Amino acid sequence: MEMGKARRVFNVLTGLFVILFGLFMFSGQDRAYKLMLFFLEVAMIIRGVRLLVYYYSMARHMVGGKIILYEGIFCLDVGLLFVNIDDLPWMYVMMYLVIGLAISGVVDLLRANEIRLLESGHWKYQAFTGIVKIMATIVSFASFKYPFILVNVYSFGVIHSGVAKIVSAVRPGAIVYIE
């Protein structure tokens, strides 16, 4: 699918904002936990609402549209959960995030394997991302007593996400011709 110029500019600006946010989290370790929680709250609530609006406006008529409904409900629920657990100790929230990171890494590896089986050449980056997420999970579990290491791991993930968004925005899209 071809990405329009306005969408490309928006993705580059979003990527730059996310990179700056990740760098800011490196600088302020003492307030980074609350900032990280706020960022996750807002991001999950917005994603959940967007997916629910998308489901009710279009995806309910699509094959597999219920998955979008379930993902929207889950994201909204997680966002509201984070809003309500600001007072919990950081270990519980970080454990939740680390388990989510591990699941995301496994999903990336499974997706890369599926792409590889379809003999597409774009599976290597997906596999690399999955391996990095699993390694970050291992590092996080090994250093669970030190919150600054967990915040640094999260900051690296945020910066990686911003760079990936910029790369996907400037990468030329494939033109598909249907005969």
pLDDT, tens digit, 9 for 90 and up, residues 11-22? 899 999 989 988
The neighbour count for residue 115, using CB atoms within 10 Å, is 17
pLDDT, tens digit, 9 for 90 and up, residues 143-159? 877 777 777 887 888 88
Tell me: pLDDT of 134 over 80: yes
H or E element in which residue 34 lies: helix 29-57
Tell me: pLDDT of 1 over 50: no
Model-wide pTM > 0.75:
no
pLDDT, tens digit, 9 for 90 and up, residues 42-70? 888 999 999 999 999 988 788 878 888 88
Task: Please name the residues in contact with 55: beta carbons below 8 A apart, sequence gap of 6 or more.
Answer: 65, 68, 69, 72
Tokens of 10: 């928006």
